[in-house]
Structure 1
Amino acid sequence: MKRIILAGGCFWGVQAYFRDVKGVKHTEVGYANGNKENPTYKEVCNGVATHAEVTLVEYDETVVQLPTLLEHFFRIINPYTLNRQGHDVGVQYRSGVYFESEEDAQVARQFIASRQALSERKFAVVVEPLKNYYIAEEYHQDYLIKNPNGYCHVNLGLLKEDEKNEKN
């Protein structure tokens, strides 16, 4: 299994989306690359902790490769907004790819550079080594399964559209 940590705004929707991507075996939400150990959601939201809300994605690379996961990631984020996705604004909602290997760093940087070359606007997506990661509180895990009418900035219907198009 390989893993990558993605920050794309509110972690509830990012997790709900990636949980259903073929080849993804496990997801969990947490906090990454911040200034303190074991931050709480309240500390992240009020700025005491400077972590990004992230989704850890574990995947079987014989089924899905990192570039495909990054394609999915770019489908659900606005790569131009700094510290914002949807209606969520704040440093914890920044967009980023946090890697654990230099190989993944190169793949992510090349992917983003190729996308950036097609755009006149500058991306606000960072690619950084994972400095720290703390799993979020249990009530945040699979939040949109537990709360089907919960807020989500991600279009969760995109994967269903893919399945429908594959059948046609």
Structure 2
Amino acid sequence: MKTLLVSFLSLLTLGCQSKNKELEKIEPINMNLENGKEIAIFAGGCFWCTEAVFLELDGVETVKPGYIGGKTTNPTYEDICSGTTGHAEAIKIIFDPSKISYGELLEVFFATHDPTTINRQGADVGSQYRSEVFCINDEQEKTAKEYIDLLNAENTFGKKVVTKVSYATTFYVAEDYHQNYYNQNKDKSYCAYVITPKIDKVRKEFKDKLKN
């Protein structure tokens, strides 16, 4: 994955900027962050897992589990679990691009879930567990699509990547008990058997990206 990222980053034009696409679709996302911070939104299965993974990374300032991409206003966890709202379990990341780039976040994202299964991550089955990148501007869309194209060209996973790339709509922060779930529930069986191996992988493969 690291070699792949180097190849990918070499394809991008440094310092390029783009105008927001269809701004009305992303108005609920706060674009006016202070001190040059940026937002990334990923869905890659259970948000307990993805939150725990990205909290490990230097340059990631906050990670909020929540719901995005559906039709119901102010959905609850119970609504999401019904599979009828259209939302995905996702995380909203605020990061410092001077410490970690959007491309590097994508590298970790694809390395820590299975992007070749539709509406499923392991034993978690349903559209709420789909793999999807929610972009907030043209540059993120371009970067995500080029990264997926490269993964498929290199046949990185032995199967086609099915991760969707969409524009972000309203992101609803999940209930309080979902926040920082792994770090508060490491003794739970799901955390021990599903999340801890992902954390171990990040700490082994991305040592240069970890918080001190």
In the alignment, is residue 143 of structure 1 matched against residue 186 of structure 2? no
Q: Secondary structure at the match of 2:134?
A: strand
1:81 aligns with 2:117: yes
Hey, what does 1:128 align to over in structure 2?
A: 166
2:203: which partner in 1? 160
After superposition, the CA RMSD in angstroms is 1.6
Q: Aligned residue pairs: how many?
A: 165
Aligned: 1:21 with 2:57 = yes
Matched, 1:93 2:93: no
Please list every run of 5 or more consecutive structure 2 residues that lacks an aligned counterpart in the other structure.
Answer: 1-36
1:49 aligns with: 85
* From 150, 153, 159, the counterpart of 1:117: 153
The CA deviation at 1:159 is: 2.8
Partner residue of 1:40?
76
How many Å separate the matches in 1 of 2:160 and 2:170?
A: 27
Higher helix proportion, which one? Answer: 2
Q: 1-side partners of 2:112 and 2:154: how far apart?
A: 18
Equivalents in 2 of 1:12, 1:89: separation in Å?
15
- In structure 2, what residue type is equivalent to 1:117? A
Q: How far is 1:19 from its partner?
A: 0.6
**Deviation of the 1:48 alpha carbon:** 3.3
| 1:113 Cα deviation after fit | 0.8
Deviation at 1:86, TM superposition (A): 1.8
Give how far 1:146 is off: 1.6
- SS of the aligned residue for 2:199 comes to coil
Q: Following the alignment from structure 1 to structure 2, what is the Cα–Cα distance between the partners of residues 28 and 105?
A: 21
Query: 2:43 touches 2:89 (CA, 8 Å); kept in 1?
Result: yes
Counterpart of 2:48 (choices 1, 6, 12) is 12
Cα distance in structure 2, aligned partners of 1:44 and 1:13: 17
Larger radius of gyration: 2
Deviation at 1:49, TM superposition (A): 1.6
Using structure 2 for the length normalisation, give the TM-score.
0.74
SS at match of 1:5: strand
CA apart distance, 1:24 = 0.6
Residue 151 of structure 2 contacts residue 161 of structure 2 at CA under 8 Å; is this kept in 1? Answer: no
Contact 2:67/2:90 (<8 A) preserved: yes
Where does the alignment leave 5 or more consecutive residues of structure 1 unmatched?
A: none
Percent identity between matched residues is 36
Q: Distance in 1 between matches of 2:168 and 2:118?
A: 19
Looking at structure 2, the residues matched to 100 and 3 of structure 1 have their Cα atoms a distance apart, in angstroms, of 8
How far apart, in 1, do the equivalents of 2:203 and 2:126 lie? 30
